[in-house]
Amino acid sequence: MLLKKVGEFGLIELLARQTSRAHPDVIKGIGDDAAVIRPDAQKHLLVTTDTLQEDVHFRMSFCTPFQLGKKSMSVNLSDIAAMGGAPLYYFVSLGVPSKITVDVIKKIYRGMDSRAKRFGAVLLGGDTVASPGGLVITVTLIGSASAKEVVFRCGARPGDRLYVTGYPGESALGLRLLQQGGKLSGRNRLAAKHLDPLPRIDEARAIAARRLASSMIDVSDGLAADLRHILQESRVGARLYLDRLPLSRAYRKNSAAFSSDLYLAALCGGEDYELLLTVPPRKLKAFEKLVQMFSVPCTRIGEITAEADDLEIID
């Protein structure tokens, strides 16, 4: 059977089933933003890995090596954030084309490590191989959280409210503008969202430490697609109100570059690396108070319903 017939998620499910084996230390293997391992009763380790491949996930002509390094770290930090964890250690595997210079690689690592340092992670190793195609960067990031803090995708319950941080869709618009070329002045905010997303580690840690979220995921595939992951894992449905979606001025001004449908980029554009989370009714007051301290907006966009896997988008 051809891979394209089952798709990425079909493949992951198939491989997970084929290799599934219980292990006493493992709380969660495949199927969330990071694996969760319990080395002792109080502390959980969170492990995630993500790959950026040249001309699939990035173009050297769109970004500087420093930005590329930062982004390859940020996408992993975002997965640790989504579990409510704090980053600790990272490993990097590089597939390098023969024509690359040492200077470029040094700049990538400078970017990667500046982002890692900001959130407290240190490089512990990796691997280097030749790549016949383009540059491939795989970062594996290990974080931790106390047992009580970890937030899974599977905890959403009917009645919980649905929140998203930031302005989903801006990254997709930024990519579209980069692809269209031309002058980006004044539109830099969108391009910057695509090239240099800031993982919501601080916000997620604050939420997780107070145990305010019943489920959480980072928005990497697109708001609707990632909401579906929460719905599937939690066996619930959701109502999402289009008019509540946080659309920035820059978004409204440029949304036509993505689609004539104003909401499409926000719903289906990927790579926002924002947090999508659910909050139980009894914790709403504390949550609303906490998010006022955030430097990024956190917007209520819907609620969880009882019918499994039923996503109702309300215009």
Instruction: Name the residues that contact ligand ADP, by CB under 6 A.
Output: 12, 15, 30-33, 50, 79, 220
Does 79 help bind Mg ion (rule: CB under 5 A)?
Answer: yes
Amino acid at 103: D
31 binds, among Mg ion, ligand ADP, none (CB under 5 to 8 A by kind): ligand ADP
* Residue with smaller CB distance to Mg ion, 153 or 194: 153
164, 276 contact by CB (below 8 A): yes
297 binds, among Mg ion, ligand ADP, none (CB under 5 to 8 A by kind): none
272 binds, among ligand ADP, Mg ion, none (CB under 5 to 8 A by kind): none
Q: Minimum distance between the CB of residue 13 and ligand ADP, rounded to whole angstroms? A: 9
Q: Minimum distance between the CB of residue 217 and Mg ion, rounded to whole angstroms? A: 6
* Residue with smaller CB distance to ligand ADP, 29 or 134: 29
State the CB neighbour count (10 A cutoff) for residue 83: 29
Closest chain position to Mg ion (CB): 33
Alpha helices, DSSP H only, in the chain? 3-19, 65-82, 102-118, 170-180, 188-195, 201-209, 223-234, 249-254, 264-268, 284-291
* Residue with smaller CB distance to Mg ion, 187 or 193: 193
* Residue with smaller CB distance to ligand ADP, 139 or 304: 139
* Residue with smaller CB distance to ligand ADP, 174 or 270: 270
How far is it, in rounded angstroms, from Cα 59 to Cα 70? 14
15 binds, among Mg ion, ligand ADP, none (CB under 5 to 8 A by kind): ligand ADP
Specify the residue for token string 């009763």: 41
- Cα–Cα distances (Å) from 47 to 29, 32, 63, 142, 275, in that order, read 9, 10, 27, 5, 18
20, 27 contact by CB (below 8 A): no
Specify the residue for token string 């491949």: 53
Q: Minimum distance between the CB of residue 218 and ligand ADP, rounded to whole angstroms? A: 6
Q: Minimum distance between the CB of residue 3 and ligand ADP, rounded to whole angstroms? A: 11
| Cα angle 299, 305, 308; round to 5 | 125
Backbone angles phi, psi at 149, to 5 degrees: -90, -25
* Residue with smaller CB distance to ligand ADP, 33 or 303: 33
Residues 211-240 that bind Mg ion (CB under 5 A): 218, 220
32 binds, among ligand ADP, Mg ion, none (CB under 5 to 8 A by kind): ligand ADP
Residues 27-46 that bind Mg ion (CB under 5 A): 33
Q: Minimum distance between the CB of residue 33 and ligand ADP, rounded to whole angstroms? A: 4
Amino acid at 228: R
Q: Minimum distance between the CB of residue 126 and ligand ADP, rounded to whole angstroms? A: 18
207, 130 contact by CB (below 8 A): no
Which letter does DSSP use for residue 11 in this model? Answer: H
What is the binding site for Mg ion (CB under 5 A)?
Answer: 33, 79, 218, 220
